[in-house]
Chain A
Amino acid sequence: GQQLNQSPQSMFIQEGEDVSMNCTSSSIFNTWLWYKQDPGEGPVLLIALYKAGELTSNGRLTAQFGITRKDSFLNISASIPSDVGIYFCAGQPHTGTASKLTFGTGTRLQVTL
């Protein structure tokens, strides 16, 4: 099956820094999702995007649906220690087809004080 490429694979940043990560696909998606997974837990939905070009925020997190429909971006501003975890993107080709969700390989974020 198809995999989404996430970049970077991992990153070490200092508290207070901004973070950017992205997700690219060879296929077009109608929906992009961003999840965060804390150590030892399951992924939790952060942001859902439904239109090309859409920019959506959730607190210090901002995600964008790429205009080509083949990519998405997640930014975290002013990182804090609890931002540590693995961030996954997921793409869905058609509305209402969660069984067709494709997940990225994840970006592991480490925050140093």
Chain B
Amino acid sequence: NAGVTQTPKFRVLKTGQSMTLLCAQDMNHEYMYWYRQDPGMGLRLIHYSVGEGTTAKGEVPDGYNVSRLKKQNFLLGLESAAPSQTSVYFCASSYGGVTNEKLFFGSGTQLSVL
């Protein structure tokens, strides 16, 4: 009954370091998303994917890259971390088609960039 699994749960980076966050879903969902959550703000979409091998930019894509080589996995990369990227990151997935607004979220990754 895993659903959406994110790793790692916590990470501390120094400015300029790189890292990759991994998201895995076992529900055979077509769509996957990466959001960031900052205090006092709603979730903001970074990138998303509507199927294996596809990616698209969301509202706040700058400084991030993504890849969806397998349907069940969606990776979020930071090439050169900046303090402004300190946030909680959530991965989500959904079915394709008309019910794709029903998102299933992972438990989040707390990232601090010093």
- What is A's interface to B at a CB cutoff of 8 Å? 1, 3-4, 31, 33, 40-45, 48, 88, 90, 92, 95-99, 101-106
Pair A98/B107 contact, Cβ less than 8 Å: no
Pair B98/A40 contact, Cβ less than 8 Å: no
Pair A96/B100 contact, Cβ less than 8 Å: yes
Pairs across A and B, CB under 8 Å, 9 listed: A41-B108, A42-B105, A42-B107, A44-B105, A45-B103, A90-B43, A99-B45, A99-B48, A99-B50
CB distance from B23 to the nearest CB of A (A): 11
Pair B106/A42 contact, Cβ less than 8 Å: yes
**Chain B residues near A102 (CB-CB < 8 A):** 42
Closest chain B residue to A88 by CB distance?
B42
Pair A98/B105 contact, Cβ less than 8 Å: no
Contact of A48 with B102 at beta-carbon distance under 8 Å, contacts A1-B59, A99-B33 already known? yes
* The 10 residue pairs across chains A and B that have the minimum distance between CB atoms: A42-B105, A103-B42, A103-B43, A98-B100, A1-B59, A98-B101, A96-B98, A92-B101, A99-B48, A43-B105
